[in-house]
Structures are given as C-alpha cells and as structure tokens.
Amino acid sequence: AALDNVARHAGEDARAWLLVEDETDAVLVTVRDDGPGIPEGRLAEAAEQGRLGVAQSIRGRLADLGGTAALLSVPGQGTEVELRLPRPPESTNDRKDSAR
C-alpha cells in the first residue's frame, strides 16, 4: 500500500526507497519517497471522509502482532512510512537447537 501511494501521489519524477532491517528484536520496513509530502491537514480530511481503510487495516494487523506503523511527512520533503514487527520470543526448543 505504501509503494502504491508513492506511485499515485508522489509525482512522476519522485523516487522511492524501500529499506528492510533485520534487527535483534524486530523487523523494520521503511518506505520513503522524495515527493511533495502530504499537505498539512490532508490526513485528517481523509480520515473524516473514511479514506484511510488500507492504512487502518495495516495498523490493525501490525497491532495484533505487537507491531507499530508510523508516518512522517513534511510538505515539500517527501513521506516516510515505518512498519515495525517484533520478533516472537525465542522458544525453549530454539535455544536447545542453537546450543548444539
């Protein structure tokens, strides 16, 4: 959904970056673009119109798994979406296997 939004809203000349980080306690996926950013008040307007369905679905799914979604957008400087999904606790069997 984040990459679709870049294609739809960032502009023809905008570039996008996708970063996947394998951290000790989580997996972090960041989608960033250098488009025009989201105008101030636009997200609140979209929410009032009920147009944040996919975004809410993603946030809900991540929350169900203990994760988070964050959005940072500065008009004229692009937009960044960060999705963080924690790793499940290591099971006793995993510890035994890694000790061998």
Domain enclosing residue 74, as ranges = 2-99
User: In this predicted model, what pLDDT tens digit does every residue of 21-60 receive, in sequence order?
Assistant: 999 999 999 999 999 988 888 878 877 887 766 677 788 8
pLDDT at position 14: 92
Q: Considering the entire predicted model, what is its pTM? A: 0.76
Question: Distance between CA 56 and CA 49 in Å, rounded?
Answer: 13
- Total count of domains within the chain: 1
How many alpha carbons lie under 13 Å from residue 66 in its C-beta half-sphere? Answer: 7
CA distances, 65 to each of 19, 26, 27 (Å): 20, 11, 12
